[in-house]
Amino acid sequence: MDAKDILGLPKTPLPIAQEKKSRPHKDSQRKPDGISREVYALTGGVAPLMPSIDVSQLKRRPPSDEKITWQWLPFTSSARKDNLQLYHWVRVVNGVPPTGDYSFAKYNKSVDVIRYTDEEYAKYLTDPKWTKEETDQLFDLCERFDLRFIIIADRFPTPRTVEELKDRYYSASRAILVARAPSPGEVASHPLVKEPYNVTQEIERKRALSMVLSQTKHQERKDAEVLAEAKRIAESRMAARAAEEPDLPVPPDIGPESAERAIGPGDTISPSNVQVHAAAAAPSTSVIADNSSTLASLRMLKVYLRTYALEQMVQAASSSAGLRTIKRVEQTLQDLGINLKPKVPTKAVCAEHLELRKEILTLLNLQKQLQYKEAEGSSFRDGSYGDMPGTAKRSQRAVDQDRTFVPDTISFGGDRGVKREQKRKGPGRASETPSSPAGAHKRPRKMKASDL
């Protein structure tokens, strides 16, 4: 107390008392049975989701009718060839020690290294690059170290690479196997014979691996870019091949496996060429290209359904149109009383349907053009009134009008047109709000039939 005064620490006995009160409360709720509180707290104080140890089992004692003692006894292991006498603690039940081999003896596995006789060496295994002595040493080490070639290479008296050692070992073993076999067929399934060791390939593979491992982040990124580029080229090459238009150039043949960095700039130029060319082509020719490429791809199929063919052709024809336009086409079809998918899709019906869709697209495009021209025209006329930003924004808005434009101007009969006009709450018309500056119009103008 006095110390606290001296130090100037606040005297706050209260919060501590509170903690003491709440903690026992908490603990009495959650103290588990079977294990002490501290041990339980090791797990974070919360019961595990899946109890790995049945807590009630922990305090269980072994069956009391058995007498268990632990004794320090000698043992033998079949894995040891020497007579070394080792001792360990053994659980003895009712005075009977356990029987059987040492439990870890079964893990003492080793490789069957083929040993040749001197005769066999002379007959099959002579090699200009290897002396008999070296080969003998190699085989000894292989047996001793269970074909762990890294260690063998380390221990080998003369300097040899791992690949050389492997090559010598595997080719020698193979030769011996084949020589000893009564007929070639019998050993053909032996792994040594089936898959011979290929030195050059191994050297190459390891080199490539180390290259990949030692790549810097920068190099990795560049590799990814090159591969993506190659993929894009391959894809555009396929698309260009499918199209029958002669004026679409086919990009040069570039394999995706090429890891050379030199490709970089060359790659980027060719796909953009293809794209630019395609974009520059007039909409009608690109539609024709799409159509004929669809036709070609359909002909490639062995069999297809008429409805499938129609879907493909419709997709091709609308490929230049956005989702909004496609929705408008479908709306127009419905207004005209035509099913989006024909009920009787014969060849003739599908052809007519396709043509109708294309014509509707043309119609919508023309409407857009007309709108745009009108807006332009009106903005010119009103230009002298409004401020400059206002006019510029106006012509921009004319393009934006596209967004909510609904073909109310075309009444195809039927109830829908009338109802829709009544439902829509469009903003004011042009005659009511001439040339007001931008900002006042949040939503674009809706065109009425009388506007045209």
Partner 1 sequence: MPHPASEAQVEDGGSASKPQRIIKLGKTTEDGDKKGTNKRVKDIELCIPIVYGTIAFYLGRKASESQSHKWTVYVRGATNEDLGAVIKHVVFQLHPSFNNPTRVVESPPFELSECGWGEFEIGISLFFHSDVCDKKLDLFHFLKLYPEDESGPQSTKKPVVMESYNEIVFPDPSECFFARVQNHPAVLVPRLPSGFTLPAPAPVENMNGKGRGDTKDHPLNHWFMNFSEADELLKLASARQQVQAHIVKLRRELSVIDGMPQPLKPASSYECT
**Residue 193 interacting with partner 1 (CB under 8 A):** no
Q: Which two tokens stand for residue 97?
A: 């020690």
- Residue 234 has φ and ψ, to the nearest 5°, of -60, -40
- Angle, helices 132-144/162-180, rounded to nearest 10 degrees: 90
Residues 237-266 that bind partner 1 (CB under 8 A): 244
406 binds partner 1 (CB under 8 A): no
Q: Which of 309, 313, 314, 317 binds partner 1 (CB under 8 A)?
A: 309
CB of residue 56 to partner 1, shortest distance in Å? 43
Choose which of 60, 61, 67, 302 interacts with partner 1 (CB under 8 A). Answer: 302
Which residue from 190, 306, 420, 441 is in contact with partner 1, where contact means CB under 8 A? Answer: 306
**Beta bridge pairs of residue 88:** 73
d(CA 241, CA 236): 8
**Residue closer to partner 1, measured from CB, 24 or 377:** 377
Cα atoms in the Cβ-side hemisphere of radius 13 Å centred on 36: 2
Question: Considering the complex, what minimum distance in angstroms separates the CB of residue 352 from partner 1?
Answer: 4
Rule CB under 8 A: choose which of 17, 111, 336, 449 binds partner 1: 336
Host H or E run for residue 73? strand 68-75
Report, in Å, the least distance between residue 371 CB and partner 1.
10
State yes or no: residue 105 binds partner 1 (CB under 8 A).
no
Give the helix ranges, DSSP H, for 52-131: 55-58, 118-120
Nearest distance from C-beta of residue 448 to partner 1, angstroms? 15
- Which is nearest to 242 in space by CA: 287, 303, 289, 286? 289
What are the residue ranges of helices labelled H in 156-198? 162-180, 184-187, 191-194
Nearest approach, Cβ of residue 335 and partner 1 (Å): 9
Q: Which residues contact 265 (CB under 8 A, 6 or more apart)?
A: none
Long-range contacts, 193-201 (Cβ 8 Å, 24+): 196/170, 196/171, 197/166, 197/167, 197/170, 197/171, 199/163, 199/164, 199/166, 199/167
Query: Could you tell me how many residues of this chain bind partner 1 (CB under 8 A)?
Result: 51
CA 200 to chain centre: 33
Pick the binder of partner 1 from 62, 182, 337, 439 (CB under 8 A): 337
Binding to partner 1 in span 338-357, by CB under 8 A: 338, 342-349, 352-353, 355-356
Binding mask 355-394 toward partner 1 (x if CB under 8 A, else -) reads xx--xx-xx--xx-xx--xx--x--xx-xx---xx-xx--
The correct pick among 240, 410, 430, 438 for binding partner 1 (CB under 8 A) is 410
Which is nearer to partner 1, 171 or 436 (by Cβ)? 436
Q: For 223, left (φ over 0), alpha (ψ -120 to 50), or beta?
A: alpha
Work out how close the CB of 354 gets to partner 1 at its nearest, in angstroms, rounded to a whole number: 10
Residue span 11-50 as binding mask against partner 1, x where in contact by CB under 8 A, dash where not: ----------------------------------------
Q: Does 403 bind partner 1 (CB under 8 A)?
A: no
Q: Which is nearer to partner 1, 79 or 298 (CB)?
A: 298
Q: Which two tokens stand for residue 304?
A: 């297809």
Distance CA 433, CA 444 (A): 12
Question: Where does residue 227 rank: exposed (0-12), middle (13-18), buried (19+ CB within 10 A)?
Answer: middle
Nearer to partner 1, 86 or 336 (CB): 336
Shortest spacing between CB 450 and partner 1, in angstroms: 14
151 is an interface residue for partner 1 by CB under 8 A: no
Structure token pair of residue 323: 């989702």
Judged by beta carbon, residue 103 or residue 346, the one nearer partner 1 is 346
For the chain, the distance separating the N- and C-terminal CA atoms, rounded to the nearest angstrom, is 95
Residue numbers at the binding site for partner 1 (CB under 8 A): 244, 296, 298-299, 301-307, 309, 332-333, 336-338, 342-349, 352-353, 355-356, 359-360, 362-363, 366-367, 369-370, 373-374, 377, 380-381, 383-384, 388-389, 391-392, 410, 412, 452
